[in-house]
Chain A
Amino acid sequence: DTGVSQDPRHKITKRGQNVTFRCDPISEHNRLYWYRQTLGQGPEFLTYFQNEAQLEKSRLLSDRFSAERPKGSFSTLEIQRTEQGDSAMYLCASSLAGLASANEQYFGPGTRLTVT
């Protein structure tokens, strides 16, 4: 399968614990995005990478959230000191270079986080 993959698919954690999610984009895509989706809502933009550079971050991304893409390939999203409000589906997407703003994104299946 050459699509976007995310790991794990599900994560249950206790409040206060740290969690890390991984995203592997489509190999030739140099742009990578993280979104958060809660029930009944569309995906909310969190952050964006072009190669290894993090170029844009949403105000939603508090200090407890950090994302990396160290070699311009896979990316990780870490949430420290999780709170119940962090419970959501975390989506990763990637896109081609070129006329970048116009390029559609390819989404992974998401990681569902439940904070108890």
Chain B
Amino acid sequence: AQSVAQPEDQVNVAEGNPLTVKCTYSVSGNPYLFWYVQYPNRGLQFLLKYITGDNLVKGSYGFEAEFNKSQTSFHLKKPSALVSDSALYFCAVRDRRAGGFKTIFGAGTRLFVKA
């Protein structure tokens, strides 16, 4: 069965410092991996995805994520956090086998960036 774990309910970072939001996954096949962000009173927005190729994926708003197959992880990172990055972040996985359109989301990690 597919699953996604985001081990931290909340991550606190000072503005200007690097941030990491952790995600590990479990799928029976090879995964497509996604990060979405949810700002207050707004719908989920796509940040970035891993399909194949380079393990370091760059996305919107300066975010990037590193796919690590051996550790089954897809941690979200940003070199310098902004107060405006404060939001709820969701990691998601989809099995790339034919017909696998079901996306499994993690429980979310709330990022709080302090000025």
Please determine whether A44 and B43 come into contact, CB atoms closer than 8 angstroms: no
Residues of B participating in the A interface, judged by any CB pair closer than 8 Å: 4, 32, 34, 36, 41-46, 49, 51, 90, 92, 94-96, 99-108
Please determine whether A42 and B107 come into contact, CB atoms closer than 8 angstroms: yes
User: Given A43-B90, A108-B43, is A102 in contact with B49 using a C-beta cutoff of 8 Å?
Assistant: yes
Please determine whether A40 and B105 come into contact, CB atoms closer than 8 angstroms: no
Best-surrounded residue of A40, A43, A91 (most CB of chain B within 10 A): A43
Residues of A participating in the B interface, judged by any CB pair closer than 8 Å: 3-4, 31, 33, 35, 40-45, 48, 55-56, 58, 91, 93, 99-102, 104-110
In the complex the two chains form, what is the Cα distance from A33 to B105 in whole Å? 13
Q: Which chain A residues lie closer than 8 Å to B100 at the CB level? A: 101
| Nearest 7 pairs of A and B residues by beta carbon | A42-B105, A104-B46, A107-B43, A107-B44, A109-B43, A102-B51, A43-B105
